[in-house]
Each structure stands twice: as C-alpha cells, then as structure tokens.
Amino acid sequence: MSITKESELVGMRKASEAVALTLKEMRNFARPGMTTRELDNYGGQILNDLGAKSAPYMTYGFPGWTCISVNNEFCHGIPSDKRILNEGDLINIDVSAELDGFWSDNGGSFVLGTDVHQHQKLIDASKQILHRAIHAIKGGVRIADVGSLIETEAKKRGYRVIKNLTGHGIGRSLHEEPSEIANFRDRFNLARFKKNSVVAIETFISTTSTYAETTRDGWTMVGDKGGFMAQHEHTIVVTDGKPIILTEMNDIWN
C-alpha cells in the first residue's frame, strides 16, 4: 500500500507493533523442552489480546498462528505437539497479522540457549545484511539493486541466498505489489521502490542451498541442497531518506 494520510500510518504502526511485540515475546519465552505448539499458542494469545488476527491462518488456512521453523527447516514450519525444542536449535519465527484492516509482517532467526552448533555467525550475517539493505532503500532505488546488495554481502561472508523466497509489498493485505523483492539481482525486475509505499524486507541467507523446496506436509520448506538458513524481516515505509521501520520494537538487531 501507499501511505496517503496520517490515519494510515497510525494504523500500520499499530499493526506492526502487534506483530513486533509478539515476535519479541515469543523469542524470550522459548525454552528447551518446550514444543513448538506451546510456543505458537503463546504467540497466538498475544496477538489475540492485542486484537490482531494471524495472517497465515486468515489468508491461507495455515495450521498455526505463527510459522516456527527449526534447524534444517527454512520457513513455514508448522507448530507441532511432537516437535520439542532443544538447546542450541536454530529457530526461525515469522509473525504476520491483521489489525483493524492493516497488515504487517516480521520475522527472525535465533539460537535457543547456548550456541552448541555454531549457528550464530549465520544469524549475525542475516541481521547485518538486512540492516544494510533497509538503509539502502528510498524512493527511486531499483529493487534489483537492493537484491544485488544482499547477495553480494552474503557472498562476502561465505554464504548464499535463497532465490525463490522474497520480500513483498504489504499493508491492506498480506502480499501486495511489489510482489517480489528478491535477495539477488533480478535483471528482469525493472521496478523501483516508491516513496510512501509499505514493504516487508526479508533476508534469506543460506549455508549451502539456493532454492527452498516444500516438504510433504505441504507447508514446511527446506533447502534444495540441505544446510541451514537464517531469515530476518522488517516492515518499513519507504521515504526520500531514512526508511520508517515500523516493526523496530521486535529487537531483532539487539
């Protein structure tokens, strides 16, 4: 969407704060021995208390309030009573929701407890690259140039990017134009970021894979060549200068 009046910015801030707070609290609540269903129910209750509705549940009938992916799962992981979290797990939580007609999206990967499997370097790379990408965005900048920045920064650190997972426009629905904000230079994408538009910017930084494939459960995605992936995401408003980071309170950069 494009922000055309103050009330729209207020609405987007409120929806964004709801998903940001939920992500932050879920990350703090996660403990070894907990199931992903317990963690999801906790997040779902926060959304409900804030008057927000789960976007993946509303839009796609997703079997959970949030997406929780663990270790080799890249994204869209289904919360389960059988999936028990362990010390050192690489966890990704993606929280998106609708509130009073406005939609917002954010996500982040983190290590649960002690980093026994050495995932923190990958996570830090994803965070740093997202920060650089977001601060390169303003009205008139080519979307492909930001994709190039993300891929270049990943390669510098010895990582790859997932080419079939992208950021996207958001605001009055979960996915809007621009429909694809890729993590690489898509030479066929001539579109530019527009001032006052709302977009969800995501990094998909991988150790070995370059494409994500859907597993037999119909939702969870894993890498075509295995390995691990870290994802971080903010919803922002594009301006002529520094972007407005609507989901900043999720603290994924802290």
Binding site per annotation, positions for substrate: 76, 175
Closest to 239 in 3D by CA, of 195, 191, 184:
195
Which residue positions form the known binding site?
76, 94, 105, 168, 175, 202, 233
DSSP letter string over 196-228?
Answer: TBEEEEEEEEESS-SSEEE-TTSS-EEETT---
Cα(169)–Cα(178) distance, integer angstroms:
5
C-alpha angle with apex 18: 106 to 229, nearest 5 degrees?
A: 20
- Give the amino acid at 181: I
Cα(125)–Cα(106) distance, integer angstroms:
17
| Residue 28: burial class (beta carbons within 10 Å; 0-12, 13-18, 19+) | exposed
Backbone angles phi, psi at 54, to 5 degrees: -55, 125
Q: Residue 165 has which token pair?
A: 């997972």
- Cα atoms in the 13 Å half-sphere on the side-chain side of 154: 30
Q: Kind of pairing, strands 167-169 and 198-206?
A: antiparallel
Which residue positions form the known binding site for a divalent metal cation?
94, 105, 168, 202, 233
Q: Specify the long-range contacts of residues 5-11, CB closer than 8 Å, at least 24 apart.
A: 8/102, 8/171, 9/237, 11/99, 11/100, 11/101, 11/102
